[in-house]
Amino acid sequence: MGVKIEPIAFKGEDERGATTELDTLDRNGPYILAYRNKGYWSGNHYHKGLSKFKNPEVVFLLQGKVLLETGEVEDGRISSIDNQEIESPARIEIKPYIWHKLTFLEDACFFELNSFKEGDRDTFRVVEQGKGLD
């Protein structure tokens, strides 16, 4: 499917903590930094790739644990849904025409390599099994 999950490996670690580098795919800000509370969700949409920064969408899960639901979008409908739990730290890459929803299994923090403006112009809802998704 059009989703790639990579654990984030740290380049250095000592008594102070851990450090690594993150590849921003030559993207420059503004970016989205979000904190979410356990039990809530974000997403529930897909992108067509109209925005450079949504093709693919890249999210760094910095803290917490999420349930990622994804499905391929065909003719405005989700063809099938896959679920996977992701623990931080992780890099999540979502290609265009992949419906996605993050449910927060723990309090979480994520960093998204795009802006509100980018998301607003390339965010679409789908119809699943005859129902519209909110």
pTM for this model (two decimals): 0.86
Rounded Cα distance between 66 and 93, Å, is 14
**Per-residue pLDDT tens for 9-30?**
989 988 988 898 888 888 888 8
Closest CA to 38 of 70, 5, 64: 64
Q: What is the CA radius of gyration of the chain?
A: 15
SS3 of residue 118 by DSSP: helix
What amino acid is encoded at 42 in this protein?
S
**Per-residue pLDDT tens for 49-105?**
999 999 999 999 999 999 999 999 988 889 889 999 999 999 999 999 999 999 999
CATH level 3 topology of 3-8+32-129: Jelly Rolls (2.60.120)
